[in-house]
Every structure is written in structure tokens, then in C-alpha cells.
Amino acid sequence: MIKQTQTLFSSYLFGIKDSDNGNSYSTILALFFPELITAFVLMINILDAKFIAQLNSTSLYTALGVTYTLLHTVTKIAEGLSVGAVIMCGHYNGADDKKNVGNSLSAALWVSMMVGGLIALGLFFGAHAIFRWYQVPDRLVLIGTSYLKVRCLSIFCMFISYGIVGFLRGVKNTRVPMNLFLGGAALFVILDYLLIFGKCGFPPLGIMGSAWAAVIQYGVICISGLIYLFISRYHTLYEVPFLNRHVITLMGKIFVVSVPVMIDKATLAIAKMWLCSLINPLGKVAMGTFHVIKDMEQFAFAPAVAFAQVVTLLVSNDYGSKNWLGIKSTIKKVLFLSSVMVLTILCLFSLMPQVVIGLFDSKQVFTDFAATAFPIISVLVFFDILQLILAAALRGASNVRVVMWVRLISLLAFFMPVSYLLSMLPLENTLIKFILVYSSFYIGNGLMGIIYLMRFRSEDWKKLSWR
């Protein structure tokens, strides 16, 4: 066991210094920085939470946090469809099959519209039941239900937007997605502020102002993305059709690739929803702590999220050209860069947690509690980085079912039962119980990372799963 660990570590060190195989650090970083900006832009929910916190209502802040936990799951499903488009377009782009790249774009848009529409309708009619399941007070149920029903409009537009972005990433264009999300985020922040607080003649809508700002944000991103596609060189270069039998065939293939990705991404998001449901009974302090720590970790995790997008598109293109050594070298470089960046941010937050947490807790209700828990929980975040990057690489190599099954089994066989048992422990100290329950999430992610490593050390990962 020790010898195997030493061999693995030696291979990792060699890979991060390998200049002959894989993509160079300059290439990786050139693709990374637009994705990093996109990742930070997509976290405007943190600024949104700050605006809601200024209303001096812990109930409103908690209602927003609970809703965002659900919306995070929906976003992961949209990202799954987007990754399916990245994989399909990337493989055809790597093989220089331009016609099928165009067919894949059309297929991705049709699939995104159908899935997004069904999910938006389901959430609209099921909003009240969802918040009842969260075990929150009646006041939060009413607030959250009204907020979610409006957000359903933005969910439909978001799915179409992610279909467009998936195509662009598949052809190695990360700048246009950045510009789309950056413009949408700027519009959201302005409208969010105006509508929440009632500035410049707008009525003060409070938390509902946030919902309508999101609807306008994703509506603009969706329309702008469609206009760009059909006036840019991509439309003529790839001969993008509206609908034909090849598109219908590729719609089926995108489902084959995307459904496992949607399930595996949703699995982690559902794990956070499960975590939220176990922590809510611990009281308002624990509930507030959960949401603020989640937001802080989301901010620190942005570089890893950006690198995950990059490694998927790079591996999918190299997979099309069967560059096996290059794929492994690229993965090691990306893992190294993401680990350094994320852990640096977490260390900075751990040095001054009360300052950061105080931004979201003007009444100082949960600041001390959260400041104690955050540094302890953050030690385990490396496990999440490992599984995220390796899962993204496996998706790029079309191993979508492997990632799905590993995450599902980890959730059902380890995380859910272990976290539930920990939540049932007869501990009077709420802080210790909170840390134990929250930490079980990262231990489960560590087990996933180990399995993904074993997959890459075999030859089975080279088998294409969707042709």
C-alpha cells in the first residue's frame, strides 16, 4: 500500500512537470481565466444574499438560502446537459467533423428547451410541497414558494443558455460564454439592488425583486446567445440546421451522454439538500451557519469549478484524437493548479472568518458559531477538489456512467446513512454535531476521488460509451 502511494505520488509529480505531453500551463490558463470569471459571475447569489441580509431579517436570508440549495440542484442538471454538448461537440471538433458539430448544436438546443420546460413546470406546481419537505417554519414556506414560482421563468431560459454555452466550450471558445454571463450578471446586480430596495422609482419588492431580476438576467443571456450563434461564423462554418434526422439522432445521443451527467451532478446537489434538511432541525443558528459556510466555500471553490470546465473540454478534444498520454498529463496539471488556488483562498478565509461571516450576519446571530466551524470543515475540502477534477476529466473521456454510478452509490450507501446517524447522536453540543454532519459530505467525496483514481489507472476509461 505504501509503495503504491509512493508510485502514485511520483507519477503525479512527473505529470505536473511534463512539458512533452498534454496541454501546456499557458494553454490551460488561457482557457481557465475566462472560465474563472464566468464561475465568479455565476456566484452573484452571494451578492444577492448580501442584499437580502441588509433587510435585517434572518427569516428572509434563510428562505433565500434554502431556495438556492434547490436551485443549485436544478443548475447542476442544466450543467449536465451543457457538459453533454461539450463532450459531443468536443469529440467531433477533435475529429474535425464540422457537419456533426453543427448538428450537435441544434440537438443540444432542442434537448435543453424540452428538459428545461418540463423542470420549470414541475417546480412551479410542486413548490409548496418542496418547502414542506425542507421542514422549515410556515412563514418560510410561504416566502420560498412565492419566490420559487417566479424563478421558474428564469430556469427555462437558463437551460437554453447552458445548451449554447456547451457548444461554445466544445469548440474551445470560453470567451463568449464569459461575456454572456458577465453581461447578464451586471444586469442582475443592478436590477437586484433596484428591485429589492425600491430605488430609482421602482417599488421595494424585497426578496421577490431578486426573483424578477433573475428572470430578466437569464432572458437576456438566452436571447443574446441565440443572436450571437446565428450571426457569427459558427452558423456558416458548421452549417447549423434547424431540425433534420441527423439532429434527431444526435438528440438521442446527447440524452445518452447527458442523463448520467445530469444525475451525477444533481446527486451532489441533492446531497447538499439532504444536508440542509438534517441541519435545519438544529435551529436558526445552525441553519444560518450552513448557508454562510456554503457560500464561502462556493466562492473559494470557483477556481476548481473553472478548471473542471477546462479539463472536460481539453480531454474531450484530446479523446477525439486519442492522445492518451496527453490526457493524463493535462489532468495532473489541472489538479495541481486548482488545489493551490482553492486552498489558498480557504486559508485566507480561515484567518479572518468572523470578518467574512459578519458581512452576511448584521445581527451577529450565528457569526461566532460559523467562525468556529468553518476552519475545521475547510480542512476536508481537498477531497472535493480531487473528485471534482477527476469526475470532469472522466466525463470528457465519455465515462459518464462511471461518474454517475460512483456518485449515486456514495450518496446512497455512505453519505445519507452516515450523515443521518450522526444527526441522531444524542449530543448536547450543537456545534460538534453540526461539524460532524457537515464533514460527512466531504468524507464521501474523498471516497469518490479514490475510485476515480483507480479508474484512470486501468485501461477501461479509454472505451467510448456513446457510439
**Lowest-pLDDT range, 271-275, 439-443, 447-451?**
271-275
Is residue 393 within 8 A of residue 312, CB to CB? The reply is yes
pLDDT at 101 over 80: no
pLDDT at 207 over 80: no
Mean pLDDT, the chain, integer:
81
Amino acid at 390: L
State the pLDDT confidence band at 2, using cuts at 50, 70 and 90: low
Task: Find the mean pLDDT for residues 13-25.
Answer: 74
Give pLDDT, residue 292: 81
State the pLDDT confidence band at 417, using cuts at 50, 70 and 90: very high
| pLDDT tens sequence across 124-166 | 888 778 777 766 666 777 777 888 888 889 999 999 998 888 8
Residues 88-106 as b/e (b if ≥16 CB within 10 A, e otherwise) read bbbbbbbeeeeebbbbbbb
Give pLDDT, residue 235: 66
* Domain presence at residue 115: yes
* Domains in the chain, number: 1
* Domain presence at residue 181: yes
**Range of 30's domain?**
2-462
* Domain presence at residue 333: yes
State the pLDDT confidence band at 418, using cuts at 50, 70 and 90: very high
Top mean pLDDT of 198-202, 295-299, 339-343, 362-366 is at 339-343
Q: Using CA atoms, how far apart are residues 151 and 68, in angstroms rounded to an integer?
A: 11
* Domain presence at residue 467: no
CB-based burial label for 227 (10 Å; 0-12, 13-18, 19+): exposed
Conformational region of residue 96, where left means phi above 0, alpha means psi within -120 to 50, and beta covers everything else: left
State the pLDDT confidence band at 414, using cuts at 50, 70 and 90: very high
pLDDT at 84 over 70: yes
Q: Using CA atoms, how far apart are residues 214 and 279, in angstroms rounded to an integer?
A: 27
Cell of 233: 461564423
| pLDDT tens sequence across 421-434 | 998 888 888 889 99
Task: Find the mean pLDDT for residues 254-261.
Answer: 78
| pLDDT tens sequence across 287-310 | 888 878 887 887 888 899 889 888
* Domain presence at residue 240: yes
Give pLDDT, residue 419: 92
Give pLDDT, residue 293: 83
The DSSP code for 461 is G
Cell 450565528 maps to which residue? 366
Residues contacting 36, CB < 8 A, separation 6+: 302, 303, 306
Is residue 437 within 8 A of residue 278, CB to CB? The reply is yes
Give pLDDT, residue 143: 74
Better-predicted residue by pLDDT, 209 or 54: 209
